């Protein structure tokens, strides 16, 4: 019986999401025409029908249908002697938005420049890393990473867009058996780390430098300890079919919380998100960002993008803020949230802060109807994901820092509404707390946070294959 109900619910949600916008507007107008001369009971039925159609219009992001629905709700409310002033305010906001979007945009010619291939200026190796310097800045898209594991021979391979104009001198890393740097194709340099056991390598890009580092190099094992070494080396699931959307909160005109020394939330979370993406790509996952630079993205567009990509997970990165100055020193800790209509006063406050950028066109009643309507079947999966990520963060960060466990919590975050996959929102710390704000802009701390989140995601996939 439970399976039948779940199937019907899934079909119902799918039907609502895929409703045709033109048909929806016509249907709303037909319902409005029924109000004149209708009995009270019939007017009540029409009122509820229009409310349901209003939710469909929001999901479809159809402003025309939303305006028609609100006009119908105002007309019904007046006839039924219900409160309607909040609908009138909502209608005026929507009409202003539609007028702005209706203005013609001047077309500008776009000139496409061919991106020249960078060349290598120097190659140097140290105890645990290789540093390659180019003549121009690199982008993360310029580097492709993959692994080759055959017959107890392990290789980490990095293909970097660029050209070698000289033969590098002997390049070596102390814990790796063999390291090779060569011109693989005309516009591609290949770096190969070759060893007899799994290699835990990490790469980072800083302007025109790429650093490939072996994380915690291990000693060679003798034959007697061979079985032990297999237990010690447990590599994450390499799964190129898993798609993860990383959502750095806020951006552009929306700076998010302003914290200690006027530090901005949007800048801190973008750095953490980009680091997280690098770790996940090294683990073999396909990663996309809702934003990879300082630009504004509407909250509803973020999960819409994840749905278009058919993502397996949606991870939103944020930084918390204390509501009052008197709480700046006492409020601290890492928290992970998942979407649920049930909420505590604390969760309600945090979600109000994160939701404020993009919910101005919906009144309180519309928000509650919408939040109670979506994502029912994903709440359990999102809860499991939140638990694994929170555990992963604390385990990794506490190796070097003392961090307060804010726990896993439920909250009605607008950015998670509409996601058709498990989705969580991580509050990485309080930007209003002097200690945590300073840490959030520390590259080493950012790396620990990102690695902890990545480990939590790996753990989730291991448990839920």
114: which residues sit within 8 A by CB, 6+ positions away? none
> 286 has which bridge partners?
243
State the number of CA atoms in the 13 A half-sphere of 166 facing the CB: 10
Nearest to 192, CA basis, from 133, 150, 145: 145
Which residues make beta-bridge pairs with 189? 160, 183
DSSP β-bridge partners for residue 180: 192
| Per-residue pLDDT at 241 exceeds 90 | no
Do residues 457 and 243 make contact, with C-beta atoms less than 8 angstroms apart?
no
Q: Please compute the mean of the pLDDT values over residues 333-356 and round it to a whole number.
A: 63
Helix, strand, or coil (residue 311): coil
CB 353 within 8 A of CB 321: yes
Look up residue 141 and give its two tokens. Answer: 């898209």
- Residue 364 confidence class, pLDDT cut points 50, 70, 90: very low
Q: Which residues contact 51 (CB under 8 A, 6 or more apart)?
A: 69, 73, 369
Per-residue confidence band for 234, with pLDDT thresholds at 50, 70 and 90: very low
pLDDT tens track for 269-317:
999 999 999 999 888 888 999 999 999 998 878 888 998 999 999 999 9
CB contact at 8 A, 353 and 250: no
CA 284, CA 135: separation in Å to the nearest integer?
29
Give Cα 77 to chain centroid, integer Å.
40
Q: pLDDT tens digits for 97-141? A: 777 666 665 554 444 444 588 989 888 888 788 889 999 888 888
CA gap 294, 256 in Å, rounded: 12
* Mean pLDDT value of segment 421-436: 94
Give counts: helices (H), strands (E), the chain.
Answer: 13, 14
The model's confidence at residue 224, banded by pLDDT at 50, 70 and 90, is: very low
Where in the chain is CATH 3.40.630.40?
Answer: 243-463
Q: pLDDT per residue over 312-339, tens digit each? A: 999 999 999 998 889 999 999 999 998 7
CATH 2.60.40 domain extents, the chain: 120-219
- Give me the count of residues in the chain: 465
Helix axes 85-102, 364-371, angle to 10 degrees: 80
Alpha-carbon distance 56 to 16, whole Å? 6
Residue 439 has pLDDT above 90, yes or no: yes
CA-CA-CA-CA dihedral for 260, 263, 267, 271, to nearest 10: -50
CA–CA gap between residue 258 and residue 250 (Å, rounded): 12
Tell me how far CA of residue 142 lies from CA of 123, 139, 351, in angstroms. Answer: 17, 5, 37
* H-type alpha helices, 309-410: 345-355, 364-371, 379-397
SS3 category, 160: strand
pLDDT interval class at 376 (50, 70, 90): low
Mean pLDDT of 63-76: 84
Give the DSSP letter of residue 106.
Answer: P
Q: What pLDDT is recorded for position 432?
A: 95
The SS3 call for residue 41 is helix
Backbone dihedral region for residue 348 (phi beyond 0: left; psi -120 to 50: alpha; all else: beta) = alpha
**Architecture, CATH, for domain 243-463:** 3-Layer(aba) Sandwich (3.40)
What confidence category does residue 415 fall into, taking pLDDT thresholds of 50, 70 and 90? low
pLDDT digits (tens, 9 = 90+) for 149-196: 777 788 888 999 999 888 887 788 887 888 889 898 888 999 998 888
Assigned fold of 120-219:
Immunoglobulin-like (2.60.40)
Calpha distance 454→423 (Å, rounded): 14
Phi-psi region of 459 (alpha: psi -120 to 50; beta: other; left: phi over 0): alpha
The answer to whether residues 196 and 163 touch, using CB atoms and an 8 Å cutoff, is no
Dump strand ranges (E) for 270-312: 286-289
Does the pTM surpass 0.75? The reply is no
Give the pairing type, strands 120-125 and 129-134: antiparallel
């Amino acid at each position: 019986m439970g399976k039948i109900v779940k199937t019907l619910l899934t079909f119902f949600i799918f039907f609502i999401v895929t409703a045709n916008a033109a048909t929806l507007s016509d249907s709303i107008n037909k319902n409005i025409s029924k109000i004149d001369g209708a009995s009270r009971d019939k007017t009540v039925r029409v009122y509820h029908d229009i409310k349901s159609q209003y939710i469909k219009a929001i999901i479809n992001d159809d402003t025309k249908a939303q305006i028609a629905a609100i006009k119908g709700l105002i007309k019904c409310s007046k006839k039924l002697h219900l409160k309607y002033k909040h609908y009138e305010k909502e209608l005026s906001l929507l009409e202003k938005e539609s007028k702005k979007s209706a203005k013609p945009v001047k077309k500008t010619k776009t000139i496409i420049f061919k991106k020249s291939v960078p060349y290598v200026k120097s190659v140097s190796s140290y105890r645990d890393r290789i540093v390659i310097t180019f003549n121009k800045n690199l982008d993360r898209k310029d580097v492709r990473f993959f692994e080759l594991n055959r017959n107890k021979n392990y290789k980490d391979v990095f293909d970097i867009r660029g050209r070698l104009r000289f033969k590098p001198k002997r390049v070596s890393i102390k814990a790796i058996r063999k390291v090779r740097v060569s011109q693989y194709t005309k516009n591609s340099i290949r770096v190969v780390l070759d060893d007899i056991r799994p290699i835990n390598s990490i790469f980072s890009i800083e302007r025109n430098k790429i650093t490939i580092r072996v994380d915690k190099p291990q000693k060679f094992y003798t034959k007697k300890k061979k079985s032990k070494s297999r237990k010690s080396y447990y590599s994450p699931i390499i799964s190129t079919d898993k798609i993860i959307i990383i959502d750095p909160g806020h951006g552009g005109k929306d700076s998010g919380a302003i914290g200690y020394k006027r530090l901005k939330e949007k800048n801190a979370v973008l750095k953490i998100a980009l680091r997280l993406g690098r770790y996940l790509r090294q683990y073999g996952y396909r990663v996309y960002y809702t934003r990879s630079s300082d630009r504004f993205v509407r909250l509803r567009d973020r999960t819409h993008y994840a749905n278009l990509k058919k993502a397996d997970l949606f991870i939103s990165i944020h930084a918390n803020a204390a509501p009052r100055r008197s709480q700046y020193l006492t409020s601290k800790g890492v928290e992970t949230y998942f979407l649920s209509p049930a909420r505590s006063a604390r969760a309600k406050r945090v979600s109000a802060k994160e939701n404020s950028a993009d919910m101005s066109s919906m009144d309180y009643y519309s928000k509650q109807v919408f939040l109670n309507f979506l994502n029912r079947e994903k709440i359990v999966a999102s809860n499991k994901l939140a638990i694994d990520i929170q555990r992963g963060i604390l385990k990794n960060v506490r190796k070097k820092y003392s961090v307060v466990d804010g726990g896993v919590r439920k909250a009605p975050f607008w950015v998670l509404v509409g996601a058709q996959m498990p989705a969580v929102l991580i509050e990485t710390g309080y930007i209003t707390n002097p200690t945590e704000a300073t840490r959030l802009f520390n590259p080493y701390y950012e790396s620990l946070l990102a690695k902890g989140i990545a480990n939590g995601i790996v753990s989730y996939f291991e448990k839920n294959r």
